[in-house]
Amino acid sequence: MTEVKLFAGSNSLPLAEKIAKHYGKKLGDLTLSKFSDGEMSPSFNESVRGCTVFLIQSTNPSADNLLELCLMIDAAKRASAYKVCAVIPYYGYARQDRKDRPRVSIAAKLVANILTSAGADRIMTCDLHAGQIQGFFDIPLDHLNASAIFVPYLERLNRDNLIFAAPDVGGVARARAYAKHFAVEMVVCDKHRKRANEVASMQVIGDVEGKDVVLIDDLVDTAGTLCRAAQIILEKGALSVRAIATHGVLSGKAYENINNSVLEELVITDTIPLVQESSKIRVLSVADLFAKAIHAVTGNSSISALFI
């Protein structure tokens, strides 16, 4: 057994502190220096020689967050850490997981290559945009599922007429998993986009009349799709609409869209720091989930018990 040390990147410091508390250990001492031009230089202020090091950092844009994590990995490897695990609550660039049109990058694969080249021995993340991204890595990857947090929350709502909805065809499998667990029906919102973050048309496939609908997604960016889906679902006779999304990217007019929408609430996790408060946004923490996963990895035990 090697000593376990946890360190936080600047983007995920609040979440890392919660993870460390649940794990039962203080965060390690790390300094991130910057030159006047913005060039970053992370350094460990304590020995990591022979240690199993967990570096906690979400890689949401800007690209500085990804580069900072890579520099931390490189610094740990050069300081003779035994193993380096990159804990990435939100894996950025995951939406670019295939060539959906000519002459584009498969950014999710490129980021996997970058992290591996930087020296990561293991990756731990949560709710990738597409499950097949796990196959982009040639090193072990622990893919956690936020349903372990959302399902107990939904159960506490105690709604008898619950139904689940996928905001697009790509989210059908995710919504079906929730519907199967609660033994209820699901519907699908079929959308057509003109371009990224802009929905041209949408229709609901399935019956939502008299139901409390829960939209399920892995992330919410501008919230345009969720808000449009919620409006159409309510017009189809639903009693209420709430949304659940693991990663609150919340860019552009997201907060304005959510506050002006018919959504009863948007439930997200703290994989990405919340920029501003909203009465319609509820944040649940993934800290305990990641702490348990780290315990399982360091104790060479299965993480399957963390899945619902």
Is residue 64 packed enough to be buried (19+ CB in 10 Å), middle (13-18) or exposed (0-12)? middle
d(CA 150, CA 234): 22
Exactly one of 191, 211, 236, 292 is catalytic; which is it?
A: 191
d(CA 83, CA 294): 13
- The encoded tokens of residue 3 equal 């000593």
Can you list the pairs that 20-25 forms with residues at least 24 positions away whose Cβ atoms lie under 8 Å?
20/291, 21/287, 22/287, 22/288, 22/290, 22/291, 22/292, 23/291, 23/294, 23/295
Let me know if 191 is a catalytic residue: yes
Q: Hey, which residues are catalytic here?
A: 191
